[in-house]
Structures are given as C-alpha cells and as structure tokens.
Amino acid sequence: MPVPQELIGKRVEVLDRGWIELQDMMGDDLAIVNAARVSFLGESKGPERDKKLLFYLLQHRHTSPFEQVEFKFRVRAPLVTWWQWVRHRTFHYQSVNAQSGRYTPFQDDDFYAPQAWRAQARTNKQASAGTVSAQEAAELDALLQEHYAQSYALYRQALERGVARELARLFLPAFALYYTWIVKVDALNLMHFLQLRLSREAQYEIRVYARAIYEEFFRSALPWTAEAFERFMLRAE
C-alpha cells in the first residue's frame, strides 16, 4: 500500500495567497500495522485482517504504531494562522523551520486580506459569529489596504535608510504577514492536530489549512487510518 506518488510535490492553494505542499512522506497504512505486529515478529495477514487490526489500534488507543508514519509539509500562511498552529505541542518545535524576516525582505503582497469580516461572537470571547454588514466590510477592506500600503512604505523607507531588516520589520503589521515554513509531524500527532483544527470552533484561518491537509493529503495517503480517524476520533467529539 505505497504512498501515491502524485501526492509528493502536490500544492494546494489556501486563503488568498497561501498554499500547502507535501514535500515528503514516510510510511503508509501497512507500516502502521507492521509496527504493531513487530511485538511478536508478525507481518501482514492480508488486507481484511490488517485493516481490522489498524481500526482496533486506534479505537483502543494503542497509538504508538501511528508514529511510524511521517509527513513533511511546506506551508505558506499568515502569522495569524501560525499563531494557532505552533500552539500545538504535537508539531514539535525541533520539527519546524521558518522563513526569517532577518534574512529575507518582505514584499508588498505578503499581507493577508480576509474575504469576509467576521463579527465577534456574543457568547464566546475567543470566537466569531456571522459577518459585519456589506458597507462596513467595504470600508474595512479599504482601511486595511491603506494600512498595508502605509506600513510597507515605512518598512521600505527604513531599509533604504540602512536600518537592519530585523528592526525595519517593526513597521509591518505582524499578524497579517505571510511566512513560509517547513513542518514535519507523525500521523498520530497530525490526527490530534486535525481533531482540534477541523472543528467548527477553530479559527477559520487555521481550519482551512487543516481541511486542506486532511482532504488533499492525509485521506489519500492513509485511507484506512483516515476512515478509523473519522469513526473513533472525529465522531467521538
């Protein structure tokens, strides 16, 4: 059950300027099964019994075999997304490498512009609910673009005056900036991430990346695991 080769290098567009790309992957559903059977030096016993064992493992939380599969993604996302992403200890810090504004200057199109202005939820301090009016949205769009243009002009001015990139970036609206990262995670910890970030309660800017990972990569690369994940982790919520 090898990884579909068309997945390696595949890139999926996310948000207005973001994307996610599967750079590499190690393992498949059978690798998980064989890792479980190594305890008594067993091997594959055919698709039906192998799949049944995999389901048993996840249902009863015998989860270490799922750590035998790893994904490596290259991701371009705004900092408002990364702030939600790196809060997960499941994406271990030693497995994350990011673009640095100290080395590479930002461009004038490196800012995130939301497609809709969500309104603050009345009953949940950390969530949104619905959107503002069309008139307010148009005014906010204009204000945001003006803010970006002014901020970037000040950033460029600082650079032209010889200010170091690491300080010139203070003029930029940090949460809006797009960064490119490489992240590596095993299948078990990726499922924990997806369980939280596929939720309707998750912030939109992280939820769309979680959905892209799951629908475009995880489900195709690990069909048995994805089926078990939906049954025993997503539906259990």
Residue 20 predicted with pLDDT over 70: yes
Query: Which of the residues 197, 200, 207, 211 is marked catalytic?
Result: 197
Of 175, 198, 224, which residue sits at a domain end? 175
- Identity of the amino acid at 211: R
Residue 185 has pLDDT above 80, yes or no: yes
The number of domains in the chain is 2
In this prediction, residue 91 carries a pLDDT of: 65
How sure is the predictor about 92, in pLDDT bands with cuts at 50, 70 and 90? low
Please tell me the distance from the alpha carbon of residue 151 to that of residue 115, in angstroms, as a whole number.
21
106: in domain: no
36 found inside a domain: yes
- The range of the structural domain enclosing residue 155 comes to 118-175
Query: Residue 91: which CATH number?
Result: 3.30.1360.170
Query: Could you tell me if 160 and 206 lie in one domain?
Result: no
Do 46 and 128 belong together in one domain? no
Average pLDDT over residues 205-227: 98
The pTM for the full model equals 0.93
- Note whether 169 and 185 are same-domain residues: no
169 and 204 co-located in one domain? no
- Co-location of 16 and 87 in the same domain: yes
Q: Decide if 107 is inside a domain.
A: no
Q: Are 197 and 216 part of one and the same domain?
A: yes
Active site residue 197: yes
In a domain, 82, yes or no: yes
